Amino acid sequence: MAELPKMKYSGKIREVRIGKPGKEVVLGGETGYSFYSFEGEGPHVPKLALQVLDIEPEEWADEALEPFRGVTGDPVAWAKKCVEEYKADLVCLWLAGTDPNGKNLSAEHAAEIARKVAEAIDTPLIVWGVSNEQKNTEVLKAVAEACAGHNVVLGPVTEGNYKQIGAAAIAYKQVVAANSPIDINLAKQLNILLENLGVPSDKILIDPTTGSVGYGMEYCYSIMERLRQAALTQNDDKLQYPIINNIAEEVWKTKEAKLPSDGKLGDASLRGVNLESVTALSALQAGSDLLILRSPKTLEHIRKYLGSITEKTDLASMAVDMSLAAEPPKEPAKPTAAAPKPVEPPKPKLETKPALKAVEPPKPPEITAEAVAAVAKPPVPAAALTVLVSPPVAQEENAEYEVDVPGELSDEDIAALRQMVGAFRAIRAFVSDLGDRLLNR
């Protein structure tokens, strides 16, 4: 029976533990592509986090805000609702109030809120900063100290602040989310910098930067695929880390997620959830291990999907008709080798030299008195030279063309030879004269 071709993997994604001792969640551990359990193992199902803000959210779509009405002014109550009612695997505290372009709350204020939330819930906590590197450095260092012992995720950590935040993470044993701008080489470089700084390999997550569907998700998808290919098929240990994607922030800031219902875009209550769900599903297929979501409905959809795709993924459960697969080519049977013949010792060869034949010298031609008399210089016919050359030139050259004719020749033959010699002399004189004329021009 034909067999389904299988990819061979040489690498493995590291396992990273997040959360308090005894309440941890484990990310990573894959030895094959996402959900390819017939080729490799995926021991830990990807985890889903819900987003909580440190301030009252502004400009949120109604569909994202409605599930949390009544608790949006209290980050601790909001986090508890995410865990107790919506069963989130993790909580992501977004410190939006620290943005210098907004409320610009202090690092001490942010660290206190993070500590209270971490103590109020048993699930692991992710603490996410803003887009200002300088402010993030100050805030996340304070959060790392305030949340010591809770093993929280600090992000985003970039090339501009990895030294300060990385040092705080080492000191207080926190996990860092290494953020790079959708580039596999920059992602690898930042991981190397963190390793060289001393951050343990089980304390790093890759944040490749996420785009919403319709806003660059396809590019993010290709980068995530390349990250996993390099980690699993090329055994690149600098990229063998779990991947985290902040889906919530990217999807719900798009205009399509905020526009009201209309005939073209459809129901607003479904649009934002669908955008977030499709983006989250794409990230999972590309290799994500941890998703940050905003809507509880999105979390419900993705959790249902994960339950169905990870339940059974062997070939029998997928009802693959292997009869359609091509039979592997059969190798022709090799003929049995005959018994080797005994090798006879080589006989010595006697060198024989061929006999040399005597070479007879050529016989000289017979020269008679009549032939010698016939070679006398006859007068050159005037008709042969009147057109070509003048007689003085011909007479001057006669001595150079003395002809010795062997054998017996008739008078006619000798006359013909004389004419030929005269013609050759005339041609030579003509060529010489022509050359002189060309040189004198």
Q: What is the pLDDT of residues 98-123, one digit of tens each?
A: 999 999 999 999 999 999 999 999 99
The Cβ of residue 269 has, within 10 Å, a number of other Cβ atoms equal to 13
The neighbouring-strand residues paired with 291 are 48, 245
CB 39 within 8 A of CB 6: yes
pLDDT bin (cut points 50, 70, 90) of residue 291 is: very high
254 within 8 A of 279, measured Cβ to Cβ:
no
**Percent with pLDDT over 90 in the chain:** 63
Better pLDDT: 388 or 188: 188
Mean pLDDT of 317-336: 63
> For 146, which DSSP code?
H
389-441 per-position pLDDT tens digit = 444 444 444 444 444 545 566 777 777 788 888 888 888 887 777 777 776 66
Q: How confident is the model at residue 318 (pLDDT cuts 50, 70, 90)?
A: low
State the CB neighbour count (10 A cutoff) for residue 163.
14
Hey, which CATH number is domain 16-324, 1.20.1250.20, 3.50.50.60, 2.60.40.10, 3.20.20.20?
A: 3.20.20.20
Indicate the range of 46-60, 198-212, 348-362, 392-406 predicted with least confidence. Answer: 392-406
Under 8 Å between Cβ of 422 and 380: yes
Query: 196-200, 319-323, 345-349, 363-367: lowest mean pLDDT where?
Result: 363-367
How far apart are the C-alpha atoms of 118 and 376, rounded to whole Å? 135
Task: State the average pLDDT over residues 237-247.
Answer: 97
Q: Is 18 helix (H, G, I), strand (E, B) or coil?
A: strand
Select the more confidently predicted residue: 310 or 12.
Answer: 12
Q: What is the CA radius of gyration of the chain?
A: 49
Q: Greater confidence, 262 or 302? A: 302
Measured in degrees and rounded to the nearest 5, phi and psi for residue 72 equal -70, -15
Which tokens in the block code for residue 217? 């998700």
Q: How far apart are the C-alpha atoms of 248 and 276, rounded to whole Å?
A: 7
Task: For the chain, give the mean pLDDT.
Answer: 84
Question: Which helix (H) or strand (E) element contains residue 16?
Answer: strand 16-18
Domain boundaries of the chain, sorted by first residue: 16-324, 369-440
pLDDT bucket at 346, cuts 50 / 70 / 90:
low
Query: Side chain identity at 39, as an amino acid letter?
Result: E
